[in-house]
């Protein structure tokens, strides 16, 4: 995401306020020259320690006496700036911990799917923002959007089970049937925490894009899946994103023919701030493939930019797997079209992108690898502020660094690898350097789609014959019921 600003001072202040935990600890432990000064000072009692946590006197909502709220502004690796709040009442001993996002609402919403397969997976760090919904699929448990939490998977599930168990004694006498069902539910949840119900799946859905589940460099395919999506109008309304200017975007009713030699511009709404912006569209014909539409959206108000590639035409009867053996820098310069439904895999690089990652892209193979590298490197090491992640253990850091070294060598032509595009809609493309003759390094195979792929794409629900009669029958049924 591109941010436009003409003032450097607010940005610098934000970076000073939101520091990584490691930098904060170093400042408190005497990483600078303050320690030497204290040692040489005879009156150490008057030396003030660095103020890291802000203490604010506030009202306790339990006993209505005055308690103390502690605020810590920090930055979480893989995540963004957050405010960690802790309240403690010395009168009734009520305590509460909460986390709130201090960053901006992201361009798109995000959805995570993580498969827990071992006790180590229960320790994966998890950020659930106040707009995120979490679901344990096998337990049929859904945690609605409420207060933000910084915890791990075990902690999130344990907190829910503890809340349910706290009301069980009172529920046992008043609602015995509900008590038995909830007791069985708690038992099943405890078995998942104890490791007796592996594997199970947790899903996070955050329309603000500010939630996260910790990945590992050796995660297998379909173990850790992230999907970004465009928010709906209802989700934007819930997030408080609305057009406050009163200028509503007018729909154009002109029937304009899209021509390959023209760039068409039409009014739209920015998906980030919902202010009026312009979307540019151009029809491009890819040789020996098909026509695609390249769309570009730029918002002058918030600086939002996006580039998408849409493929059209009829849904093919089969999917397609394209395999390219990358031997040198010439192969990195090949044009590549990765559609939204395409999965990309490079086994030698331990790279596996699920469908929906990065959206639709029409670029070169080098450009695609660079985008993957920059996006992951920013999430893992926190390059936005020129700082590195300090919460990773040495073994995990070494594995991530090994992964990035391999990715850099590949995109610079120093390592041979295989690139596999698996697209169930056959809407992806890799340039054939020998066209129209076969390319010895390029293999294209048409395959039958699986039932799961057709369900995900909505093909199973498509009705192409007899739908008019079906609609007429449904209309008659509605009239009869009314």
pLDDT at 285 over 80: no
Q: With bands split at pLDDT 50, 70 and 90, how would you rate the model's confidence at 386?
A: very low
- Decide if 289 contacts 315 (C-beta within 8 A): no
- 91 and 175 belong to one structural domain: no
Residue 13: φ, ψ to 5°: -65, -40
Number of domains in the chain: 4
Omega before 199 within 30 of 0, i.e. cis: yes
Among 253-257, 294-298, 301-305, 316-320, which is the least confidently predicted range?
253-257
Q: What is the pLDDT of residue 122?
A: 94
pLDDT at 221 over 80: no
Q: What is the pLDDT of residue 250?
A: 41
- 122 and 96 belong to one structural domain: no
Q: With bands split at pLDDT 50, 70 and 90, how would you rate the model's confidence at 169?
A: confident
Q: With bands split at pLDDT 50, 70 and 90, how would you rate the model's confidence at 366?
A: very high
Structure-model confidence comparison of residues 421 and 82, the more confident one: 421
- pLDDT one-digit tens code per residue, 29-46: 655 444 444 344 444 444
pLDDT at 114 over 50: yes
In a domain, 242, yes or no: no
Q: Which residues pair with 423 in a beta bridge?
A: 320
Residues 6+ apart with CB under 8 A from 29: none
Alpha carbon 321 to its chain's center: 26
Q: What is the pLDDT of residue 271?
A: 75
In a domain, 475, yes or no: no
Structure-model confidence comparison of residues 216 and 307, the more confident one: 216
In a domain, 12, yes or no: no
pLDDT at 287 over 80: no
Among 13-17, 180-184, 264-268, which is the least confidently predicted range?
13-17
Structure-model confidence comparison of residues 230 and 332, the more confident one: 332
In a domain, 79, yes or no: yes
Q: With bands split at pLDDT 50, 70 and 90, how would you rate the model's confidence at 3?
A: very low
Average pLDDT over residues 92-104: 80
In a domain, 479, yes or no: no
Q: Which of 311, 343, 369 is where one domain is finished? A: 311
Average pLDDT over residues 50-66: 84
- 369 and 400 belong to one structural domain: yes
- 327 and 230 belong to one structural domain: no
Which of 149-163, 228-242, 244-258, 261-275 has maximum average pLDDT?
149-163
Q: What is the pLDDT of residue 19?
A: 67
In a domain, 6, yes or no: no
In a domain, 331, yes or no: yes
Which CATH number is 350's domain given? Answer: 2.60.120.1040
Q: With bands split at pLDDT 50, 70 and 90, how would you rate the model's confidence at 240?
A: confident
Q: With bands split at pLDDT 50, 70 and 90, how would you rate the model's confidence at 167?
A: confident
Average pLDDT over residues 348-371: 86
Q: With bands split at pLDDT 50, 70 and 90, how would you rate the model's confidence at 443?
A: very high
Q: What is the pLDDT of residue 252?
A: 41
Which of 211-225, 254-268, 467-481 has maximum average pLDDT?
211-225
Q: What is the pLDDT of residue 40?
A: 47
Range of the domain at 57: 50-103
Q: With bands split at pLDDT 50, 70 and 90, how would you rate the model's confidence at 434?
A: confident
In a domain, 328, yes or no: yes
- 293 and 419 belong to one structural domain: no
Among 34-48, 177-191, 274-288, 346-360, which is the least confidently predicted range?
34-48
- 230 and 190 belong to one structural domain: yes
- pLDDT one-digit tens code per residue, 313-354: 677 888 999 999 999 889 999 999 888 888 899 999 988 888
Q: With bands split at pLDDT 50, 70 and 90, how would you rate the model's confidence at 420?
A: very high
Structure-model confidence comparison of residues 222 and 18, the more confident one: 222
- 143 and 271 belong to one structural domain: no
- 329 and 207 belong to one structural domain: no
- pLDDT one-digit tens code per residue, 371-384: 888 888 877 765 54
| Whole-number average pLDDT of the chain | 79
């Amino acid at each position: 995401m591109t941010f436009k600003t003409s003032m450097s001072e607010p940005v610098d202040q934000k970076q000073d306020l939101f520091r990584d935990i490691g930098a904060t600890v170093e400042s408190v432990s005497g990483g600078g020259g303050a320690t030497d000064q204290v040692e040489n000072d005879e009156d150490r009692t008057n030396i003030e320690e660095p103020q890291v946590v802000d203490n604010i006197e506030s009202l306790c909502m339990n006993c209505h006496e005055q308690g103390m709220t502690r605020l810590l502004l920090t930055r979480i690796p893989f995540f963004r700036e957050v405010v960690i709040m802790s309240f403690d009442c010395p009168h009734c001993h009520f305590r509460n911990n909460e986390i709130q996002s201090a960053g901006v609402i992201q361009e798109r919403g995000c959805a995570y799917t993580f498969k827990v397969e071992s006790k180590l997976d229960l320790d994966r760090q998890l950020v659930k923002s106040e707009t995120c919904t979490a679901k344990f699929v096998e337990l049929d448990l859904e945690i609605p959007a409420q207060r933000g939490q910084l915890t791990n998977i075990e902690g999130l599930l344990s907190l829910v089970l503890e809340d349910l168990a706290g009301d069980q004694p009172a529920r046992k006498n008043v609602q015995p049937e509900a008590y038995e069902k909830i007791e069985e539910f708690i038992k099943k949840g405890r078995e998942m925490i104890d490791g007796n119900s592996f594997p199970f799946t947790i899903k996070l859905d955050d329309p603000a894009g500010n939630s996260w589940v910790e990945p590992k460099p050796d995660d297998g395919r379909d173990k850790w899946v992230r999907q970004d999506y465009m928010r709906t109008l209802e989700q934007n309304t819930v997030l408080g994103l609305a057009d406050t200017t009163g200028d509503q975007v007018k729909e154009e009713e002109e029937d304009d023919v899209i021509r390959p030699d023209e760039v068409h511009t039409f009014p739209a709404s920015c998906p980030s701030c919902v202010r009026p912006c312009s979307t540019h569209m151009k029809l491009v014909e890819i040789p020996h493939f098909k026509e695609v539409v390249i769309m570009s959206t730029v918002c002058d108000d918030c600086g939002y930019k996006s580039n998408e590639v849409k493929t059209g035409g009829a849904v093919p009867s089969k999917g397609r797997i394209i395999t390219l053996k990358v031997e040198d820098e010439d192969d990195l310069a090949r044009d590549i079209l990765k559609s939204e439904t395409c999965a990309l895999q490079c086994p030698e690089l331990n790279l596996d992108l699920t469908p929906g990652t990065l959206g639709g892209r029409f670029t070169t193979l080098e450009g695609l690898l660079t985008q993957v590298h920059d996006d992951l490197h920013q999430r893992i090491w926190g390059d936005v502020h020129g700082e590195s992640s300090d919460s990773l253990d040495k073994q995990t850091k070494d594995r991530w660094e090994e992964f990035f070294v391999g990715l850099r060598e590949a995109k610079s032509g120093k390592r041979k690898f295989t690139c596999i595009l698996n697209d169930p809609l056959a809407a992806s493309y890799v340039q054939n350097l020998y066209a129209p003759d076969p390319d010895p390094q390029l293999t294209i195979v048409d395959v039958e789609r699986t039932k799961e792929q057709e369900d995900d794409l909505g093909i199973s629900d498509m009705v192409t014959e007899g739908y008019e009669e079906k609609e007429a029958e449904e209309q008659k049924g509605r009239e009869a019921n009314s």
